[in-house]
Amino acid sequence: MSGKVYPLHGNQRAAVDPRECVWLSASAGTGKTQVLSARVLRLLLQPDTDPSQILCLTFTKAGAAEMAVRVNDVLARWVRMDAAALAGELKAIGAPFDPETQARARTLFASVLDTPGGGLRIDTIHAFAQWLLATFPEEARIVPGSRPMEDRERELLSHDVLADMLLAAEREGDTATLDAIARLSREKGPDGVRTWLMRCAGASELWFGPGSWQPPMRPRVNRLLGLEADARPEDAARLCADESFDVAALRECLAQYREWKGKTGAAAVEAIDGWLEGDGSMRAAGIEALAEALFFKNGNPKLPKSADPAFSGASARAGECIAKVREFLGLLALAENIAPLLELGRKFALLWEEAKAREGLVDFDDQIRRAADLLGRADMAAWIRYKLDRRFDHILIDEAQDTNAEQWAIVFALIDDFFSGEGAHDGKLRTIFTVGDYKQAIFRFQGTSPENFEAARNRVKREMEAAAKAAEDTSKAAGMLFSEVPIRRLQEYGLGHSFRTGQPVLDFVDRAIEAVGFAELGLGQPSDPHIGEARAGLVTLWQPVTGEALDGEDDEGEEGWLSRHDRQMADRIARQVGRWLDDGFPLVKDKDNPRNAGPGDIMVLVRKRKELAGLIVARLHAAGVPVAGVDRLRLGAPLGVKDLMAALRFAAQPLDDLNFANLLVSPLGGWSQEDLLEHGYRRPGIRLWTHLRASREPLVVETLERLGALLARADFELPQALVHWILVGPWQGRRRLVARLGSEVNDPIDELLNAAHAYAAAYPASLQGFIRWFDAGEGELKREAGEGGDLVRVMTAHGSKGLQAPIVILADATGTPPSGGALTLVEPVPRGDTGRSVPIPGLPKNQRLGPIAAAHEAAMAEEMREHWRLLYVAMTRAEEALFIGGSLGPREKGEPHADSWYARLRPLFEGDGLADDLWGARWELGTPAPRLPVEDPADRAAERTLPDWATKPVGPEPRPPRPLAPSSAGEDTGADPPLPPEMLREAALRGTLTHKLLERLPAVPVEEREQVGREWLERQGQGLSADVRREVLASALAVMADPAFAHVFASDALAEVPLAAIVEGQVVAGTADRLLVEPDRVAVVDFKTARRPPETLEQVPSSTVRQMAAYAAALAQIYPGREIAAAVLYTQAPRLIAIPAEVLAAQKAALSTAQESFGRPPVEPADRGPK
């Protein structure tokens, strides 16, 4: 369980000493979370430590939650634990276990709960920054009430800011802005424009503060590229002058070319002579022609076979001079291109900051930057500590290798006076505890760098050593033997014993690190060998899948757009997992209870979140293997969400043919592709919706009726209500989607509902607005680590950080390494530790010159180091078995890339491998666990037999107080024969209009009723012919004129009266057409418009009788003690049929027992005034 305390040994026990500052390097699986939790417990046990003085910073929300649960569970158990057990747990973490310490341990849970804020502050660095800014908005210079920006808000706001910038540029005639955007759009596309602008918006240190970049930027860009600030193309002439250019080398080449009898030699002689005769400007203009004459495109010199040996040296010297001129001109061209883009980026960044302030939004980068700035000012930091009335004296940092430079700035601001100044001399013990692992630094794409980890360690170590030396010097100067200030130095420990993984797997990990090279991982020295659990372990290499066409494989099917080799790889993984589950795969981590693997014991890892992950999930699902789905995906990507959004788009715009067709063939529409072809084929220019509305085919009519119900709600329902109706209403959308797509569609559906609720909370209700908001940024659906259950997990190697599984599959180990990310150049800053990072747009290879080429090479080298560190993380997720595989597409030509994981690991496996009917061949290392008996499927089925209570009828469930509408108390079983759809619609409209006339006309003077009724019908009954309208009016007037119905339409009778009461435990709610309330009697009348009205009570449909019984029962609760009379008025005859009390009572018996009045009566005789 999460609150279990494990005994600590060796460096683990030394690292939790609360008196020391510790820098801990913990390899994968060595129990760092347990050590971190024990460190917090040891600090809390210190008599002079208050829980409010402890701050724990983690990299992920899941890590923060796990740590908080561990600590709180332990503290809660300590409260009620007996003395012997408590002493044992205190001893296990190296704490004193005397009675005084035990007494304090029992009070810690309450102390933590009483801490301001509700407990220990265990946060991600972003959450801490957010809390800090929310507490001090004015000091941080943000608008009070500002909130973190969500991804969709970021996307929408960036769209709006760009649109505003374009409109302003057009309005003001800003051709520079328009030209820069046009050029960028041509080169990078519309998405590339926003990507570049958002990169510039993120480089806020460039545009704000001292030394910020201001237009014109060309001089500054020149210096950034290593040129003079005022460099111009004309300056190339100086590089071509005899004083700068090695003309002697060029003349040596000329002499050799003169002896070369051929076209190439002659061309070279002509080019060199012409170039030497020109002045500097002419030489600069002809540098490309000179290079083409002397060198091939690959850079090799053109030289005759009989060339003098000295020719190579002369050619190389001339080539260096040519390259210098070409690079100068190339850098000038780059500066000319980059400067306008940076000016465009600055303009957007300023507008972006204004927009965020206007909307009260703060993005993640703002949180870190502003929090660091807030704490970095000495006067402000002291003020903040005073206002908070708390001081963090103990800082703990988890996953420190993934903390970037700005985040470290926050940490250093918090520990600024730990070791010097007032903080070091006030008698308080202050500590920092940091745990991380350089080998697991894999989040460079989020701005982290393991070099920051090393730099932070060196800084803390340096400051502590300086503080210790200062204390010693002070003591010596005062003639004291011992210093009054405790002298402490940073304690550095390593954890190398893995409690997760078997030794055979770790032996393979050590060999893999050796094969890759410790320097390739970015390590300064070889890492210590891994020590694991002494148990069986297996590492298997599968032969790569080559993607050759198989019999019966269809490249034109629904998955034809996916690469064949990925499809085959996913298929083989699914078959392999199925075999393990059917045949048994032994697991022996629990030595006392070995068992065969289940679905939850298997983790499939991919390097990138591409099609392969989704294919693996689909193949596992098709094979009947329980699978959790991918760990993270875009909310708009799952098919279930696409189908629901297609329904919403249809509701907003039914004339979108493509979307409508998508909806029809989705599970929500229920059509097949053949149905769409059969019913949707039409002449050009006719909308699909229009075409289908003219059809009378049963399938089309039924579909359009369902779609019509959706359209009828679209203008009145909130987006979230509309999605809910589609899912659980008449469409039964969730049931249909799960039936087609599997249970894994439920999570994305729920997240779509959450997104709709989030939109409703922040924006005005609008279906079109929700669609635009959703499309702006699809959000990300992340499955947390504990949500897998007994299911196969499919995730990226990055997402697996902190997780483990007995069996791990590396599914795309043959993949090519990364090709580098966004480029930046660093501008040196006077008197600054680090320079400013200047974004550089992506450039083709031939344009990467000078500093840009060097920056690209450095970035590629770091990408490769992270590529190998990611391999380390992936391998160390395995507890007992590691399987390595991959597939090869046409580009690989049968061989994986030399720097792929597969290629580097393949030499570790010797021999030709073992024959394998699924993979062709496999290679194995380690010791497999002994096989265990496999349960017979019948036995497993018997174990899964449901208990009796699960299959027995539960019986009538107590009815919740949900309203029962009397008008829907049952199906109408009257004698009216079925009608065609168009006649049904007409009949329904006739009935509605008749009801409305009988509701409205009684209040109109008798002589005016016909005129008023005719005018009203002309407005409201346009769907009926004039003859039908006359029939409706005549019927209504005849009813009101009949003396037999005078009491129904008397002036004191009420029309359209809402009723509600709880009758026999059931809420009854409805609207009575006419209600007459008298002191001792209440009469209710309901209108019916049947074309063939019954002549006797016995012919009245039972559903109508049940309806009137429900009305009568409700009225009996509302008006207790009065006689209740009920009747039905058939307007077609007209005929009034009373329902006797005994008939009503017989229907009421179907209701259950309890009775309760529901509200006050709708009206009393006294409320109506004089009659």
pLDDT of residue 840: 93
Torsion of CA 738, 740, 741, 747, to 10 degrees: -20
**Helix 310-359 to helix 151-172 angle, to the nearest 10 degrees?**
100
List pLDDT tens digits, range 177-201. Answer: 999 999 999 998 888 899 999 999 9
Distance CA(383)–CA(138), nearest Å, equals 13
**Helix 83-92 to helix 61-80 angle, to the nearest 10 degrees?**
140
pLDDT of residue 385: 67
Q: Which two tokens stand for residue 1015?
A: 């005018």
> Looking at per-residue confidence, does 553 or 1113 come out higher?
1113
Query: What is the arithmetic mean of pLDDT over 921-930?
Result: 92
Distance CA(840)–CA(842), nearest Å, equals 7
Distance CA(119)–CA(101), nearest Å, equals 21
Distance CA(322)–CA(308), nearest Å, equals 21
Q: Which two tokens stand for residue 526?
A: 């070889």
Distance CA(803)–CA(793), nearest Å, equals 11
Q: Is 117 exposed, middle or buried (0-12, 13-18, 19+ CB in 10 A)?
A: exposed
Asked whether 266 and 285 are in contact (CB, 8 A), the reply is no
pLDDT band at 780 (very low <50, low <70, confident <90, very high): low
545 by DSSP, 3-state: which? strand
Distance CA(617)–CA(628), nearest Å, equals 8
Q: Is the pLDDT of residue 975 over 50?
A: no
Least trusted range by pLDDT, from 233-242, 769-778, 866-875 = 769-778
350 has which bridge partners?
none
Where do runs of H (alpha helix) occur along 623-765?
639-652, 657-664, 673-680, 688-693, 698-714, 719-728, 733-741, 746-762
- Could you give the C-alpha distances from 781 to 443, 741, 752, 757, in angstroms and in order? 19, 17, 10, 16
Q: Is the pLDDT of residue 94 over 90?
A: yes
- Could you give the C-alpha distances from 57 to 410, 594, 838, in angstroms and in order? 11, 38, 29
- Could you give the C-alpha distances from 220 to 224, 227, 338, 566, 828, in angstroms and in order? 6, 9, 11, 48, 12
362 by DSSP, 3-state: which? strand
pLDDT of residue 995: 77
Task: Annotate 762-802 with DSSP letters as a single string.
Answer: HS---HHHHHHHHHH---EEE--GGG--SSEEEEETTTTTT
Distance CA(839)–CA(446), nearest Å, equals 15
Distance CA(351)–CA(345), nearest Å, equals 10
Distance CA(1033)–CA(993), nearest Å, equals 9
The DSSP element (H or E) to which 586 belongs, if any, is: strand 586-587
Distance CA(244)–CA(805), nearest Å, equals 65
pLDDT of residue 1160: 42
- Could you give the C-alpha distances from 910 to 541, 544, 923, 924, 1012, in angstroms and in order? 11, 16, 8, 9, 99
pLDDT of residue 953: 54
Output the average pLDDT for the chain. Answer: 84
Q: Which two tokens stand for residue 555?
A: 């490249």
- Could you give the C-alpha distances from 443 to 61, 438, 448, 450, 495, in angstroms and in order? 16, 12, 6, 9, 22
Q: Which two tokens stand for residue 212?
A: 């910020």
Q: Is the pLDDT of residue 556 over 80?
A: no
Backbone φ, ψ for residue 1053 (5° rounding): -85, 140
Q: Is 973 exposed, middle or buried (0-12, 13-18, 19+ CB in 10 A)?
A: exposed
Block residue for tokens 């899941």: 62
Distance CA(999)–CA(21), nearest Å, equals 85
Longest dimension (CA), the chain: 133
> Looking at per-residue confidence, does 541 or 819 come out higher?
541
Where do runs of H (alpha helix) occur along 494-610?
503-516, 564-583
Distance CA(963)–CA(405), nearest Å, equals 61
3-state SS, one letter per residue, for 1103-1118: HHHHHHHHHHHHHHHH
Backbone φ, ψ for residue 634 (5° rounding): -70, 135
pLDDT band at 959 (very low <50, low <70, confident <90, very high): very low
> Looking at per-residue confidence, does 523 or 1152 come out higher?
523
Distance CA(606)–CA(632), nearest Å, equals 12
The DSSP element (H or E) to which 37 belongs, if any, is: helix 32-45
What residues are designated binding site for ATP? 26-33
Q: Which two tokens stand for residue 801?
A: 């950080």
Block residue for tokens 């085959």: 568
pLDDT of residue 973: 46
* Stated pTM of the model: 0.74
Where do runs of H (alpha helix) occur along 589-667?
611-622, 639-652, 657-664
List pLDDT tens digits, range 1095-1136. Answer: 888 888 888 888 889 899 989 988 888 999 999 988 766 788
Asked whether 460 and 21 are in contact (CB, 8 A), the reply is yes
Distance CA(1078)–CA(1052), nearest Å, equals 9
Handedness of CA 633, 639, 643, 644 (dihedral sign): negative
pLDDT of residue 1166: 40
924 has which bridge partners?
540
Paired sense of beta strands 1066-1077 and 1081-1088, if any: antiparallel
> Looking at per-residue confidence, does 994 or 595 come out higher?
595
pLDDT of residue 1153: 37
Asked whether 226 and 853 are in contact (CB, 8 A), the reply is no
List pLDDT tens digits, range 428-476. Answer: 788 999 999 988 888 887 777 788 888 899 999 998 888 888 777 776 7
Q: In the chain, count of helices (H) and strands (E)?
A: 41, 29
> Looking at per-residue confidence, does 789 or 915 come out higher?
915
Torsion of CA 105, 106, 108, 111, to 10 degrees: -150
pLDDT of residue 427: 63
What residues are designated binding site? 26-33
- Could you give the C-alpha distances from 1022 to 905, 1014, 1019, 1142, in angstroms and in order? 79, 12, 6, 44
Asked whether 135 and 388 are in contact (CB, 8 A), the reply is yes
Strongest mean pLDDT among 259-263, 267-271, 445-449: 267-271
Q: Is the pLDDT of residue 944 over 60?
A: no
List pLDDT tens digits, range 342-376. Answer: 999 999 999 999 999 998 898 888 888 888 888 87
pLDDT of residue 727: 93
The angle subtended at Cα 898 by Cα 893 and Cα 901, nearest 5°, is 105
Distance CA(615)–CA(566), nearest Å, equals 8
Q: How many CB atoms lie within 10 A of CB 8?
A: 21
Taking alpha carbons only, the member of 1001, 1002, 992, 1010 closest to residue 1089 is 992
Handedness of CA 1067, 1073, 1078, 1083 (dihedral sign): negative
Query: What is the arithmetic mean of pLDDT over 136-157?
Result: 86
Q: Count CA within 13 A, CB hemisphere, residue 723.
A: 25
Strongest mean pLDDT among 105-109, 996-1000, 1138-1142: 105-109
Q: Which two tokens stand for residue 810?
A: 């590396």
| Percent of the chain predicted with pLDDT > 70 | 87
